[in-house]
Amino acid sequence: MKESQGELNYFRIAEAIGFIRENRHEQPGLEAVAEAVNMSPYHFQRVFKEWAGVTPKHFLKYLNVEYAKRILKETHASLFDTAHEVGLSGTGRLHDLFVTVEGMTPGEYKNGGENLFINYSFASTPFGDILIASTPKGICSMEFADDHMEAFNSLQRKFPRARYCQMCDTIQQNALFIFTQDWSKLTEIKLHLKGTDFQLKVWEALLKIPMGGMTTYEEIATKIDNPRACRAVGTAIGENPVAYLIPCHRVIRASGEIGNYHWGEIRKNAIIGWEASKIKI
């Protein structure tokens, strides 16, 4: 499958971010990063700004541990309170207010999706291709798909008895507006998820983290009234079936370090920096 220019740019940016992370202590300049990805400084700066909306130097500060610590400190008191805001007039608003979660019935959960009809399609995002899948009730899966066949096989493993049709329906289209930030077209997004009661509770808590905000595993555990369950919270976050819509990328370590991500640490860094570049600091 031929890659779009946007996808090619993301992979270049991902390579650059990997270089920056590996050489963080040296704080590499524009020329060094551009040389590492075999681009001229001028071309690299232009491509990077087109993708992120800011210069590489500005973007780098969003990836620093110090920045993550500052965000935690500044948003700690009102991190979840912002979920009560209304209106989606700008990129700093909490679009996740429009996301509701519905767990599958015990029968659907246990029988591997028997009698479920699932539509699926592939789409381009600023962070690479994704596979997005939906039932008549909502989005049931969304994951980054660097390998399309493996992504579809992963979906089938989740719902081995479901019936599949490759098509992009209205439910999927509504969800995909989240990447373009076209607030005028964003309608209510519903998720139809396969998970335990504990997992659903954790995923619902993640939906309340505002764009550009961050939280920790410990804070999530406290918010679901189970402060000693940090390890279990981490496991539930790692099993998030809906990339980006459920923003598990906004959970970092208490130290301020970015930490792991199911779809790759470099991608997590890219998403955090990209989101931060879209709001006022």
Catalogue the active-site residues. Answer: 248
Task: List, in sequence order, every residue forming a beta bridge with 163; answer none if it has no partner.
Answer: 117
Give the alpha-carbon dihedral of 226, 230, 231, 233, to 10 degrees: 70
Q: Exposed, middle or buried by CB within 10 Å (0-12, 13-18, 19+), for 162?
A: buried
From residue 90, how far is each of 95, 166, 280 by CA, in Å?
A: 9, 33, 11
Reduced DSSP (H G I as helix, E B as strand, rest coil) percent helix, strand, coil of the chain, to 5: 50, 15, 35
Q: Which two tokens stand for residue 164?
A: 């599949």
Q: Which two tokens stand for residue 118?
A: 């699932």
Q: How many Cα atoms within 13 Å fall on the side-chain side of residue 274?
A: 22
Distance in Å from the first CA to the final CA of the chain = 38
Q: Exposed, middle or buried by CB within 10 Å (0-12, 13-18, 19+), for 183?
A: middle
Q: How many Cα atoms within 13 Å fall on the side-chain side of residue 209?
A: 28
Length of the chain: 281
Dihedrals φ, ψ of 9, to 5°? Answer: -65, -40
Q: Exposed, middle or buried by CB within 10 Å (0-12, 13-18, 19+), for 253?
A: middle
